[in-house]
C-alpha cells in the first residue's frame, strides 16, 4: 500500500524569516564550500559518463524504457549542464 504525504503551504509571511535563517546558516560555515559542491558535480558527471550503459540497462529492465531515451534525457542532461 502506498503512503501519501500531506503537503502544506508555507505562509507567505514566514518566507522572509525562513530566508534569513537559511542565509545565516550558510554564512556560519555549516554548509559545504563552493569547491566541495563543484567537486560533487564533477563526480556526478563522471558517474553518469562512466555508468551510462548501466543506467540505461536498468531503466530498460525496470520500466521498459528505451536505452536511447535514458542516455539522452538522463545522462545527456547531466552532461549538458556540466559543460555549462
User: What is the residue extent of each domain of the chain?
Assistant: 32-83
How much is the pLDDT for 3? 67
How much is the pLDDT for 20? 95
Q: Model-level pTM?
A: 0.54
How much is the pLDDT for 1? 56
How much is the pLDDT for 65? 93
Kindly list the distances between the CA atom of residue 45 and the CA atoms of 19, 39, 76, in Å, as whole numbers in the listed order: 30, 10, 10
Give backbone dihedrals phi and psi of 31, rounded to 5 degrees, phi first: -85, 170
How much is the pLDDT for 84? 61
Give the model confidence (pLDDT) of 18-76 as tens digits: 999 989 988 887 778 889 888 988 898 898 889 999 999 999 999 999 999 999 888 88
Amino acid at each position: 500500500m502506498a503512503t501519501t504525504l500531506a503537503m502544506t503551504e508555507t505562509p507567505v509571511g514566514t518566507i522572509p524569516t525562513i530566508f534569513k535563517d537559511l542565509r545565516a546558516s550558510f554564512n556560519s560555515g555549516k554548509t559545504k564550500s563552493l569547491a566541495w559542491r563543484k567537486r560533487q558535480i564533477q563526480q556526478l558527471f563522471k558517474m553518469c559518463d562512466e555508468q551510462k550503459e548501466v543506467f540505461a540497462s536498468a531503466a530498460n529492465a525496470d520500466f521498459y524504457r528505451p536505452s536511447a531515451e535514458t542516455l539522452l534525457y538522463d545522462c545527456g542532461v547531466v552532461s549538458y549542464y556540466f559543460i555549462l
